[in-house]
Amino acid sequence: MELYAFTTGYIPVVGRALRADGPWRFIRMPMICFLAVYGKRLLLIDTGLGMLTVENPRAFPGTLNMRLLNFRITRDETAAARIRSLGYEPGDVTDIILTHCHIDHTGGLPDFPAARVHTSNEEYEVYRRLTGKISSFYHPGSFAHGVSWEPHRLEEKEYCGFRHSLDLFNDGSIHLVSTPGHTAGHIGAAVTIEGKSYLHLGDAALFESQYTDPRLVSFGTKIFRAIANQMPDEEKRTRTMLREHHLRYPEAVTVCSHDWWKFRGLPQFPEPLAKG
């Protein structure tokens, strides 16, 4: 298996607004996806933004979202283009795991109409209730092409300190773990390669030191938390769980979608994050 991490464009944010030790300048806050390639299976964890935004940002994610978040993405930065650059076609993507359904994680979904899309039952319910409505975080344009959903119930079964989990393909290669708070059905996804775990945490936290060293949380992160997190108490419990996981499994590689600090230290695409 080969595992890649890449970002689909970026959001310009002043670093100090996120982290107390961050730079007083605009940093390129990433929207990180994982791509696992094994056998005939190509699996994406989150899609980031995609061709919809490259071609018509006014339609998706819409003028207001573009003004508020100032997404920047080029054609070459889409997950579809990254996959082509490795010699595959977007149609080769068999499975997509969504940590949650917000626009910056699902904007690339229409580029992969053939994929089965896995998420938690709770997150799928949020999608079902959308029925064509646009909110600041959800946009029906991500799903209008007709998604082959595979919602899952995560069982009360511990995986690396996470209380609810699911062995997605029953072969130990991919585990979904429940990390609620940012959204009610938010999940993380762990890829295991040669006994080592690579965990995509979506927006369970904005960056790693939010749970390893909370003193570094800056004003912008607090505002983001207040606006964007659906269930603040759950989110706090999830952060405690992430901290425990970090202490018990220091060898695990954990990546939050928008962690500029962590992303800079990872092997940069097309170099794989891991191989085995």
Site for Zn ion, rule CB under 5 A: 104, 203
Nearest CA to 72 out of 101, 49, 44, 90 is that of 49
Nearer Cβ to Zn ion (142/192): 142
CB of 203 to Zn ion, least distance (A): 4
Least separation in angstroms between CB 258 and Zn ion:
6
Which tokens hold the place of 128?
């079902």
Give whichever of 203 and 235 is closer to Zn ion, judged by the CB atom.
203
Of 104 and 259, the one with the shorter C-beta distance to Zn ion is 104
Compare residues 104 and 234 and give the one whose CB is closer to Zn ion. Answer: 104
For Zn ion, give the closer residue by CB, 77 or 203.
203
Smaller CB separation from Zn ion, 81 or 103 = 103
Q: How far is the CB of 105 from Zn ion (least distance, A)?
A: 6
Provide, rounded to whole angstroms, the least separation between the CB of residue 229 and Zn ion. Answer: 11
Instruction: Give me the least distance between CB of 226 and Zn ion, in Å please.
Output: 15
Tell me how far, at minimum, the Cβ of 179 lies from Zn ion, in Å: 13
